[in-house]
Chain A
Amino acid sequence: MRFLRRHPILISIVLFFFATQFISLRYEGRQVGDSFSSFILTLTYYPQKLIFILTGEIVSAWQNYIELVGVRNENERLRNEIRKLRQEKFHLWEAELQNDRLKKLLGLKGNSTYDVVSANVIAGSPSILRSQVVIIDKGSENGISQGMPVATYEGIVGRILLVGEKSSEVILITDDISAVDAYIHRTRARGIVKGTGGGCIMEYLEKKADVSVGDKVISSGKDGFFPKEVVIGTVVETEASGGFIRARVLPDMDLNSLEEVVVILKLPKEKVLNE
């Protein structure tokens, strides 16, 4: 201890070099799902869930009894109805386009369906360095495993990064290391949707591709993680980028205020996370 007190700078430099070596190793062969990390995740689950339930109860009581009681319920009902109608409208549009395509391409396979597990978002990342991470209250005991896609009924949210027994960590599509193989829904132009830390951009769209503001972006299902034809977001801006077009994509839901999500029980084709 006396040595530590006498040579703090030296110790710090040694630790720093150790850190850079350690970090580089982790980047090259990261095994996220180690059991000690899962244990920490499970350990923090109970207090996080308790805080989630308590704050939920307090907020709910405030909204139900102190604020306008009837209006809140009505608002909730109407919002659900709008969500359902939007979903229906999108499916009809989708069916119409699909119908046209199928007229030309006979023998195309239909989409397969997957089981889902619904979950509550109980916490967020404690670090600004990777703030696009949330913690949900379902884990391996609910059949969740690493790499499974996470969505809401409005579109893709992200995928499972780390699984504990009772809770899991979800990395959002807006995170720097997220990438989804995607199509422009209207024209089937293909590209990669990447996270930028707070939003998303669609890259590698061919220069001749027909992309315009307002186009819906959907998953292609070819990356091995996400199922085919799930909504990612809407194009809000396009620009030329070298020999390609780059489009800024706004997710259809507010990822900063996520409350409920569904985990799609679909195992990734390859268990690679930091591709």
Chain B
Amino acid sequence: MNRLYQIIMFVLLSFLFVILQSTFFSPKHLGIFYPDLNLIFVVFLGLFSEVKGSAIIALGNGFMMDVLSGNLIGLYSLSRLSLFLVLKGLSTHVYAQSRITQVIGLFCSTLFSWGFIWIGLKMRTDFRISFGEIMAQSFVNTIVGLPLFWLIKNLYARVQA
């Protein structure tokens, strides 16, 4: 029963983050200094979640991002799934509870995610986001990510209990 609650919680959180990203935290209003709540959420899933359906939740989150941003379907879906799998693989080799690990995880995950999209798109079309902008977003995600991790972890612990 607990597992079902956890899956429901993650699905609802994923949906909530997509809604917040398209309203209050839309890059249309905030520019490059917007926190990518969905990426932070996928990093959380990759580092901490023990739920087996997490990969599908990460994929679904990316799909919703693709639909709402008018992007090519698959761009965010596959980059987020890929990020999740890499983090899941690495999470057994690192101490994920450490703040330093979380900071590095958030920063590098943003770079990884953009790298994936950059190489994928560069093969077909222009990519207008500069390296400086990607670095700026990595910093913002790291700063916003830590308190968000704390919030989701508390919620996760309550559902697990």
Instruction: Name A's B-contacting residues (CB within 8 A).
Output: 1, 4-9, 11-12, 15-16, 18-20, 22-24, 26-27, 30, 34, 37, 40-41, 44, 47-48, 51-52, 55, 122-135, 161-162, 169, 171, 176, 197, 256
Instruction: List B24-74 residues whose CB lies under 8 Å from chain A.
Output: 24-29, 31-32, 34, 38, 52, 55, 63-65, 67-74
Choose one: B52, B65, B67, B137; the contact of A41 (CB below 8 Å).
B67
In the bound complex, residues from chain B placing their C-beta under 8 Å from that of A47 are 15, 19
| Number of interface residues, chain B, beta carbon within 8 A | 55
Please name 10 pairs of A and B residues whose Cβ atoms are closer than 8 Å in the assembled complex, sorted by A: A4-B85, A5-B89, A8-B88, A11-B86, A27-B124, A48-B19, A126-B65, A127-B76, A130-B69, A161-B70
- Which stretch from B1-9, B99-107, B125-133, B149-157 is at the chain A interface? B125-133
A-B contact count (CB 8 A): 160
B26 touching A123, Cβ below 8 Å: yes
- The complex places the Cα of A161 from the Cα of B71 at a distance, in Å, of 10
In the bound complex, how far is the Cα of B30 from the Cα of A256, in angstroms? 10
Would you give the shortest CB distance from B48 to chain A, in whole angstroms?
14
For A26, the chain B residues whose CB sits under 8 A away are 72-74
Contacts of B123 in A (CB 8 A): 20, 23-24
The answer to whether the Cβ of B108 comes within 8 Å of any Cβ in the partner chain is no
* Complex contact B29–A124 (CB within 8 A): yes
CB nearest to A6 among chain B residues: B89
CB distance from B91 to the nearest CB of A (A): 8
Contact of B28 with A8 in the complex, beta carbons under 8 Å = no
CA distance A122 to B24 in the complex (A): 11
Q: How far is the CB of B110 from chain A (nearest CB, A)?
A: 12
- CB within 8 A of A44: which of B19, B27, B34? B19
Smallest CB gap from A255: residue in B: B28
Q: Is A12 a contact of B82 with CB atoms below 8 Å? A: yes
B70 and A169 within 8 A (CB):
yes
A125 touches B78 (CB 8 A): no
Contacts of B23 in A (CB 8 A): 48, 51-52, 55, 122-124
Q: Which residues of A contact B25 (CB under 8 A)?
A: 126
A125/B69 in contact, CB under 8 A: yes
Does A128 lie within 8 Å of B34, measured CB to CB? yes
Closest chain A residue to B86, Cβ basis:
A8
CA gap between A136 and B161 in the complex, in Å: 41
> Does the CB pair B29–A129 fall under 8 Å?
no
Contact of B52 among A1, A20, A24 (CB under 8 A): A1
Whether, in the assembled complex, B117 has its beta carbon less than 8 Å from a beta carbon of chain A, the answer is: yes
Given A16-B120, A19-B74, A169-B70, A135-B89 contact (CB < 8 Å): no
A125 to B24, CA, bound (A): 11
Contact B124 A126 (CB under 8 A): no
Query: How many angstroms from the CA of A18 to the CA of B78 in the assembled complex?
Result: 8
Q: Which of A22, A27, A48, A135 contacts B78 (CB 8 A)?
A: A22
Which residue from chain A places its CB closest to the CB of B125 in the assembled complex? A27
Cβ contact within 8 Å between B89 and A4: yes
Find out whether the CB atom of A23 lies under 8 angstroms from the CB atom of B28: no
Distance A122 CA – B145 CA, assembled complex (angstroms):
26
Identify A176's interface contact among B18, B73, B128, CB under 8 A: B128
- Chain B residues contacting A8 (CB-CB under 8 Å) are 85-90
CA distance A47 to B18 in the complex (A): 10
Instruction: Give CA–CA (A129, B86) in the complex, Å.
Output: 23
Contacts of A176 in B (CB 8 A): 126, 128
